[in-house]
Chains A and B, each alone.
Chain A
Amino acid sequence: MEFERDIAGAAPSFPESFVKGYLGTAGHCLNWLLASERKSGGSAAHATPFLGWSRAYPETTGYIIPSLLDLGDRLHDARAEPAARRFGHWLLSIQDDEGYWRGGLYPYSSSSSSSVFNTGQILFGLARLAARDPSGPWIDAAQRGSDWLIGGLDSCGIWTGGHYRGHQPAYYTHVAWPMLEYAAVAGDDKAAMAAGLVLDGVLDRCLANGAIEGWGFDTEKPSFTHTIAYTLQGLLESAKITGHARWRQATLAPMERLRRAGELSGGRLPGSFDLDFRPDKSFECPTGSAQIALCCLRLYEQDGDLRWLNLACKLADRLGGVQTRGISEAQRGAIPGSVPFWGPYMRFRSPNWAAKFTADAMLQLCDALEGLE
């Protein structure tokens, strides 16, 4: 990221230079996300050099909707809200009669089936659209999605099916959170109670060192910071919505470990960690870094500890530095899955959720920096 310097080489002004720089990164993300829209509807899951855009991804199209609305408001970009609404209408058009959305890219493959996680992520978008437009079609669709999720839960907060890899990962906190978002908009107590069951179930998986069992795609391998952050963000945001401190409390030990790792690496947070917090420093996962920045910003908002803000700034600086400046619209403003590009997370691809979380982090960071004045 580049910050303006005056002709005498003076330090950048605070917070103006920084806000301008971070909003610049967010603006590039917005342009890229708008360019990712497919003719048949939805946002392409990722872009790859030479191959261009992939098919649309319902899951991430869902949670890109709130980002588009926020970006449009903050950057005064009139293209964002109509795009968010188009995404919303497209998601309604592919919702199953039972209320769920299927996993994978659209058009769906023959093996695609109902997905807990994807349905949850789409609730983010519908809940936000419903809050903005209460008379629109959003709340009914969100209710059907939420009811389907509630119907699949057992009494311990475990979904009996609809998993990505056959088990219930801890990052389903990131399903509970949008259920709470929906519940707040719709006043749906059943959804709030179900989400609480899921979140309390995850607390049972906390290890003594703060790690949470099952917070990765694969229980046998180190977890990408992306899914670690999903887990932590789900707990933190749910705690914020409900006021239940126990969910926030569970994030403090792992966040402290991640803060240390992020600081010692100067914002180049290692891309994955095992359950003993042993890092894999061979690559960075910018998506996870952006999400961890968001967690830092939430903690900072709650306790005012500038140490969280400091790491968020370093992670944001790094994200600005890895944003692609290519000439094609599929590359310009993209955030790579891994740094280096051949790293193990989304190898050679720039996912739309990396741009989404980066934009979210930049906007929230700007709010925090402006609040320091």
Chain B
Amino acid sequence: MTATPSVIVTAGYNYSPAASALIQLLPRDGVRVAGVLLVTPFAASRVAQVLRAKGLDGLIAAAGKAFGVQRQPLTRRDPVEAFFEENELSTIRLDRLARQNGVPFARVSSLDSNAATAFIDSVGAGGVLYCGGGIVRQPFLQHTRGMVLNAHAGPLPYVRGMNAAEWSVLFNLEPCTTIHFIDRGIDTGPTVTTIPVPIEAGEDVHRLRQKTVVAGISGLRAAVRFLGTPPPPRSSDALDHKQVFTLSRAMSAYLEKKLTSNYSLP
């Protein structure tokens, strides 16, 4: 890493709170945001992927997210909203935020596209903070020299894959956010740090997810120092733990019931 560390921040939609917060917070830590890579959520392949994996409901939810629409009314103060207020962060769209701060910005169809890798090469950052944009593959990892950090919403290597916060609760594991390097597997890369996300009484799934986002922002912010140093070794049992996928409707309802029934770890 150079004297002034620099990073690229990725995002999967223009209102990504994690990307937005990092773009604003990192300069306060003396870290230069060298670029923002936004993977357009409206690429046909992404729409098809969401439709296939999450159905029409999932697609509608994703579209709402992409347009910055909050679908579920919150019963208590939203942890992400509170974090933005406490840190005096702007909530404007990423493209405008980048323009305001003079940060190079690119909208790409995929992180592995030629446009994305050319952007990475041109800005010359020391690493990438991944805040969404789909599964990354070999071209992206090659051009970033493997210096890509992700905030995963569950304990690794035990809960690999999607809806990790939810699965943590279903597996009776303590919810947490794990900061790790991305490698070619699904959430199999070396772990840097783990941040506990304790569940409060009466908490719902949405709020739990929001808390993992906040923990992820703080975790990635602190983990920038690991970029440029050799990553720790991958956990030897990383692949022993089966991947998880999105929750079915019945499992989601079961989880809500579990959480609202004065959930506590066994």
Contacts and interface: CB of A to CB of B under 8 A. Distances in A.
Interface of A: 3, 11-15, 17-18, 256, 260, 263-268, 305-307, 309-311, 313-314, 317, 369, 372
A253 B247 CA distance: 22
A15 B254 contact: yes
B242 A307 contact: yes
A13 B257 CA distance: 8
A258 to B, nearest CB: 13
Contacts of B242: 256, 305, 307
A12 B245 CA distance: 21
Chain A interface helix/strand/loop/mixed:
helix
Given A14-B257, A268-B52, A306 B245 contact: no
A372 B52 CA distance: 28
A317 B248 contact: yes
B249 A265 contact: no
B67 interface: no
A18 B53 contact: no
B124 to A, nearest CB: 36
A5 to B, nearest CB: 11
A305 B252 CA distance: 16
Contacts of B167: 306
Interface in B202-227: none
A263 B246 contact: yes
B52 A369 contact: no
Given A12-B253, A14-B250, 9 more contacts: A15-B253, A256-B242, A263-B245, A263-B246, A266-B54, A306-B171, A307-B242, A313-B250, A369-B250
A264 B171 CA distance: 21
B78 interface: no
B243 interface: yes
B256 A306 contact: no
Which residue, A264, A265, A306, A372, has most C-beta atoms of chain B within 10 A?
A: A306
B53 to A, nearest CB: 5
A14 B254 contact: yes
A313 B170 CA distance: 15
